[in-house]
Structure 1
Amino acid sequence: MAGTHVLFVEDDDVIREATQLALERAGLVVTAAPDGLTGLELFRGGRPDIALLDVMLPGLDGVSLCRRIRDESTVPVIMLSARADSIDVVLGLEAGADDYVTKPFDSAVLVARIRAVLRRFGHAAGGPDGGSARAGAAGEAEGEPLRFGDLEIDTGGMEVRKDGEPVALTPTEMRLLLEFSSAPGTVLSRDRLLERVWDYDWGGDTRVVDVHVQRLRTKIGQDRIDTVRGFGYKLRG
């Protein structure tokens, strides 16, 4: 993680400076911006390894900035929200964020979240621009593509096709799909998915799972993943 380039967009001067210092003490290289438009410019000019975006930003809010970043890159994004408001959380995740942290936060907690995101995006191995999902949660062996109806998953090349057409997935979405494909027809609990896909050994917010499942459904087909009320989700075999 040392040397990882972080784009940190936060309009509060005190929070921005204190958090930047804490992240740099953890060995990260931090580029900070006070507003969304500056953050977008710095993102395009520097291509960071991870982006930390406050939700409430002047000029271009954090959710809109996340959408702009996601249109151009699969780089991991963590949203920072001053409120544990479900609307803030869901909007950020629907915009393409991979995780969120509620303010005020302990710097050690933020660093731990960053480490977890970078691990699953493959940055420990130096993967560029969002990392590699090759060491996916499912631990699939490379070989013949997996097929589920009109859906084809090439676990070796980390490619997904629906009706023969490529499907663009973020690394988090790919890891989620790999986890489902490792046990088709088996109900996977939200807690298991948080642990296996998000590396949340300490637990986490299940809304992260729910929104990512919905995002995945829009890409591979709404009827491909079933909801089992009170238990979790399963991939149709």
Structure 2
Amino acid sequence: MEDRLKILVVDDDPLIRELIQVYLEEEFIVIHAENGLEAIEKVQTDKPSLVLLDIMLPKFNGWEVCKQIRTFCQVPIIMVSAKGEEIDKILGLELGAEDYITKPFSPRELLARVKAQIRRSLIGTEVKKGFSHSTGLGNRISDAILDLPGLQINFIKYQVLLNGLEVVLTTKEFDLLVFLTRNRGQVFTREQLLNKVWGFDYAGDTRAVDSAIKRLRKKINNEEKNHIFIHTVRGIGYRFEVPNQ
């Protein structure tokens, strides 16, 4: 079945790698890496549809691998670790991972999380639909490009330009940005954003929203120039506004 999607399993324990392969191989092509350096190389050469990434690895730990992958690729990443501390989960999300699963995990939970992330990466274009009208504010909106003052989003290329310079976003950051721009001016709670962007079946919590918002702000906000797109509404959530409008 050559049309099956490819999953990269990164773990230095061969038994864990084999066990995960048993869980997934009926629906996916499973490839392996046993250290961080090999993982980075295989993401570049094999172009998997998702990475299951252990934290405790030789030759770069999982956090460093996640950080390096995000410099050249937006493949969905699920961190897999025996560590269950809150700070570990938050760090993984802030580095760009889409989800986090703690060992030991059930085969059903692992498969569900993998399917959920792949489904969202494949149908993330859903939040990009409906841009065929005019805003009445002098901004051009088409099926391919949303052009706002200082910010341009190309939905076909998954490309974001800030003042003409490309901004590299993860898939989830991109989907979140598109949703916020589509609903600019509206205030959304963390729970609403989690449901709208991550989906009702997402197994995580609202910290994923806070982490993604934090990364987006760092990438597109410039407080020194008063160039602020994403605003916090204290006690409620977040909203997107175009500066000087």
**CA deviations over 1:118-173 (Å, ceiling 9, x no partner):** 11211x7xxxxxxxx4x142533244454554223344654322223332222211
Q: How does 1:35-74 map to 2 (within 5 A)?
A: 35-74=35-74
Is the contact between residue 66 and residue 97 of structure 2 (CA under 8 Å) also seen in structure 1? yes
Residue 188 of structure 1 aligns with an amino acid whose one-letter code is F
Instruction: Find the residue that maps to 2:57 and give its secondary structure.
Output: coil
Q: How does 1:194-213 map to 2 (within 5 A)?
A: 194-201=194-201, 204-213=204-213
Identity %: 40
Q: How does 1:32-111 map to 2 (within 5 A)?
A: 32-111=32-111
Alignment partner of 1:233 is 2:223: no
Distance between the aligned counterparts of 2:216 and 2:206, measured in 1? 15
**CA deviations over 1:56-111 (Å, ceiling 9, x no partner):** 11221011111222222111111112222122112222222122222221121111
Residue among 120, 123, 127 paired with 1:137: 127
Change (3 A) 1:173 1:14: same
**CA deviations over 1:169-224 (Å, ceiling 9, x no partner):** 22211110111112212111212222222224355221111111111111111531
Q: Which moved more, 1:8-17 or 1:47-56?
A: 8-17
Is the contact between residue 140 and residue 178 of structure 1 (CA under 8 Å) also seen in structure 2? no
Structure 1, unpaired ranges of 5+: 125-132
Is the contact between residue 9 and residue 34 of structure 1 (CA under 8 Å) also seen in structure 2? yes
In the superposition, the TM-score normalised over structure 1's length comes to 0.84
How many residues are paired up? Answer: 226
Structure 2, unpaired ranges of 5+: 133-140, 223-227
Is the contact between residue 56 and residue 81 of structure 1 (CA under 8 Å) also seen in structure 2? yes
In the superposition, the TM-score normalised over structure 2's length comes to 0.82
Distance between the aligned counterparts of 1:44 and 1:146, measured in 2? 30
Counterpart position of 2:14: 13
Change (3 A) 1:201 1:229: farther
Larger radius of gyration: 2
Q: How does 1:109-188 map to 2 (within 5 A)?
A: 109-122=109-122, 133=124, 135-137=125-127, 139-142=129-132, 143-144=141-142, 145-146=145-146, 148-155=148-155, 158-188=158-188
